[in-house]
Amino acid sequence: MGMTMTQKILAAHAGLEKVEAGQLIMANLDLVLGNDVTSPVAINEFNKAGFDSVFDKKKVTMVMDHFTPNKDIKAATQCKQCRDFCGHYDIENYFDVGDMGVEHALLPEKGLVVTGDLVIGADSHTCTYGALGAFSTGVGSTDMCAGMATGKAWFKVPSALKFNLTGKLNKYVSSKDVILHIIGMIGVDGALYKSMEFSGDGLKNLTVEDRLCMANMAIEAGGKNGIFAVDEKTIEFIEARSNKPYTIYEADEDAEYDEVYNIDLSKIKPTVAFPHLPENAKTFDEFGEIKIDQVVIGSCTNGRIEDLRAASEIFKDKKVANGVRCIVIPATQKIWTQAMDEGLFKIFMNAGCAVSTPTCGPCLGGHMGILAKGERAVATTNRNFVGRMGHPESEVYLASPVVAAASAITGKISQPSEVM
């Protein structure tokens, strides 16, 4: 029996010719990531263990994005601890206010991850980089500590689910709708500790940004990772941003999958995930009027320039509804500048939106958009757990940028056809 993409990457990094699902391996790491919430725990363990060096100062990175710009003394202290650590060990890829972004948008933009890499990050959405044909997965802070010190990590080789994509998305339907549809179909534990592997003719109709969105939410189905077959778009994206060597891994024709799902992109409809789980996916013919108080457009899922362009198309010459707050958060400094230069900020501001510096802020209930008791938000983020964006009696509805924008305009959960 052959190997999947994920299994081939793990085998190569473990120095093995072949691995099988369930096998325990020790593999070499190409990148170790932490943020301002998870890195301090890893640093404490690093110091407690008596380590006095990192395995490679170019292969450890920390991004200050969750509570930055710092919202309080605790956040400032956490960032200072990371700043001091990276300064002491001469970490080359440390990103702070003014030169940062939401980590999972920033690292691909900076060319720090390429096809065939093996990446761990002390953040569950590290699975984003599978869009580039890399194996990337979230780990705990103690694993991050060990990875920083040794450049290695233990893995149990996952089995896999195959998603064969065909067709092309219709107007105002996005990759966010696709991944919400898939999570709704298989459930939040449908891919538990499995690799979600995406391939098929439909890939040619998805941009790399589309794939980053989908890979990002593999964890919301319980996946160990999400990974996309590599094509010309992948290579073009990587070579435009990185000089790192890369290796393309392809699944064997006789690779074993636990399940194979055929997804016709042309049949996907605008989809919203209702509280309080991403699997509660509904299309607009399945629910009635739901009034909202806030809209957030941004995050590591949908804060890229394509997302902002799509939202701006909906907002142009329109206004945010009375009583609704709409917050737009470009995911990186580069995206922020690009959106400004393209005139998107003027469209957002004229519509009555607030535009923020890059931050994870409201996505995890940190700052820049906390919900009060009883409030509802439509967000382009990736989680809608109880209390995720504020008060435990608030509600978060997950949607695409165009659905979020249309909802901000009408004051209720709406699809773009209602405002265009």
Summarised one tens digit per residue, pLDDT across range 79-96 is: 999 999 999 999 999 999
Confidence check: pLDDT of 420 > 90: no
Summarised one tens digit per residue, pLDDT across range 298-308 is: 999 999 999 99
Summarised one tens digit per residue, pLDDT across range 252-261 is: 999 999 999 9
The mean pLDDT value of the chain amounts to 96
Confidence check: pLDDT of 1 > 90: no
The structural domains of the chain, with segments of one domain joined by +, span 5-265, 273-418
Nearest to 94 by CA among 142, 150, 148: 148
Nearest to 300 by CA among 369, 242, 234, 379: 379
Q: Where are the alpha helices (DSSP H) in 169-207?
A: 175-186
Q: 346: pLDDT confidence band, cut at 50, 70 and 90?
A: very high
CATH number for the 273-418 domain, one of 3.30.420.240, 3.30.450.20, 3.40.50.1240, 3.30.499.10? 3.30.499.10
Can you tell me the mean pLDDT for 342-354?
Answer: 97
Cα 366 → chain centroid: 17
Task: Specify the residue for token string 């439509």.
Answer: 378
The contacts of residue 236 (CB under 8 Å, 6+ apart) are: none
Judge whether 93 and 117 are in contact, CB under 8 Å: no
Cα 20 → chain centroid: 27
Can you tell me the mean pLDDT for 333-356?
Answer: 97
Q: 105: pLDDT confidence band, cut at 50, 70 and 90?
A: very high
Tokens standing for residue 178 = 């696709």
Sign of CA dihedral 396, 401, 403, 407: positive
Domains 5-265 and 273-418 share a fold: yes
pLDDT of 93 reads: 97
Cα 237 → chain centroid: 17
Summarised one tens digit per residue, pLDDT across range 4-26 is: 999 999 999 999 999 999 999 99
Judge whether 211 and 198 are in contact, CB under 8 Å: yes
Q: What is the DSSP letter of 395?
A: E
Summarised one tens digit per residue, pLDDT across range 258-285 is: 999 999 999 999 999 999 999 999 999 9
Q: 414: pLDDT confidence band, cut at 50, 70 and 90?
A: very high
Query: What is the distance between the alpha carbons of residues 34 and 41, in angstroms, rounded to a whole number?
Result: 10
CATH class as words, domain 5-265: alpha beta
* Neighbour tally for 329: CB within 10 Å: 28
Tokens standing for residue 75 = 């956040």
Can you tell me the mean pLDDT for 366-373?
Answer: 94
> Cis bond leading into 66, ω under 30°?
no
Q: 196: pLDDT confidence band, cut at 50, 70 and 90?
A: very high
Reported as half-sphere exposure (CB side, CA atoms, 13 A), residue 163 has a value of: 30
